[in-house]
Chain A
Amino acid sequence: MNAFQAILVLIVAFIAGCGSVLDEAQFHRPLVACTLIGLVLGHLSTGLVLGSSLELIALGWMNVGAAMAPDAALASVISAVMVINSGLSVKEGIAIAIPLAVAGQVLTILVRTITAFFEHQADKFAENDNPRGIEFLQLTGLVLQGLRIAIPTALVLLVSPKVVQQGLEAVPKVITNGLAVAGGFIVVVGYAMVINMMATRYLMPFFFLGFLLAAVSQLNLIALGLMGLCIAIVYIQLAPKYHNGGHGGSDKAGKTEDLDDELEKELDDF
């Protein structure tokens, strides 16, 4: 492999890293990423065969809801480089792809925690009416995700495959699995922010209703969404404050809101 090819491999790695977080054009899928690595290294058919096998393994790797899939980008790019460059068999390449997908997931967890800081910087840019700054942060986030794959790929190009295998084994399971476990419930931070933002105390029963229906039933999200819609419509139809026909209906609503404000104040003091 010459220097020109090495640069092309790193470009493919960078694009696959961006693709992995975006989940748009699918450059991170094994079928595309392994093929591209095969193409730039002059072993197209090897790339196709490896990509085909890995793609079938990764068919179920998808970001559904707030869950995060194993990282197909790192798995595809590095296993393809190792199969073509370091003489691993396709079977060995597939075997090493799985721990690579886990390692890629740990790296993306790291980047996605760093970008949480970006949100706070973006708040400051927003306050200063600086859209340019927000655009810069968004694109920087993407670059970090690209480097997340390109840098490990560069390391693999420099060292022997044995070192890579040893490096993967050196990461303790308690860290990788622990991070994955935390990834499963860390999403509540976002929910908590939205609930704090939207909740007025007299509307909280609707939150609990949604929770209970989702927790005890098997209804899917679409059905639950439509139920929520019906409940909202029924509430609006029945709420006394919208009936101006007038026996102090709106007064009553005003009082409820006052009470609500007081309650909130007290709770805040507490």
Chain B
Amino acid sequence: MSGKNLLKAIILGDSGVGKTSLMNQYVNKKFSNQYKATIGADFLTKEVMVDDKLITIQIWDTAGQERFQSLGVAFYRGADCCMLVYDVNNMKSFETLDNWRDEFLVQASPKHPESFPFIVLGNKIDLEESKRQISQKRAMAWCQSKGNIPYFETSAKEAINVEQAFQQIARNALMQEADVPEFNFPPSVSLDAEQKQDQGDCNC
């Protein structure tokens, strides 16, 4: 496993699906029923143990509103993982997952788009079953078709599966990190990368 101990995670999804709530539930263990649109982007950090390793996750919350979707590339660049969130009671928010994924890939242009660690969260499962519009089966089929993206059904309100989802994404991101040296670009590049990693260790 690599020496990196800071992970940058980005949360994407339509407006109102609960991105900020998920982040707040995970980091602050708090939930508010009031809706407040996120403006621009915001981030929180949390330290977490992944397989006996202390990792700091930096979670970047984004605005789902179209107006704020022109976030700079700097925002996406260097992301180690990406969480796609939809509302299981809102068909449109599920159908736009494709779009969010594509948008992320173009903006971040990761070296290995096929194996980039995504995770899909179907949020708001605490609402009554009759309101639900997307079945677990359908969501899982979508995840499967996009290269076996892990899928979690969550409730930011009831704190269901939130911890588990973040744990999973941290683990996947670290595994992706470990894959990097396989990248067959010339020695000059990987040498740089190693140096950077060394610096990272010294910073503690």
A binds B: no
Q: List the interface of chain A (C-beta within 8 A of B).
A: none
Q: List the interface of chain B (C-beta within 8 A of A).
A: none
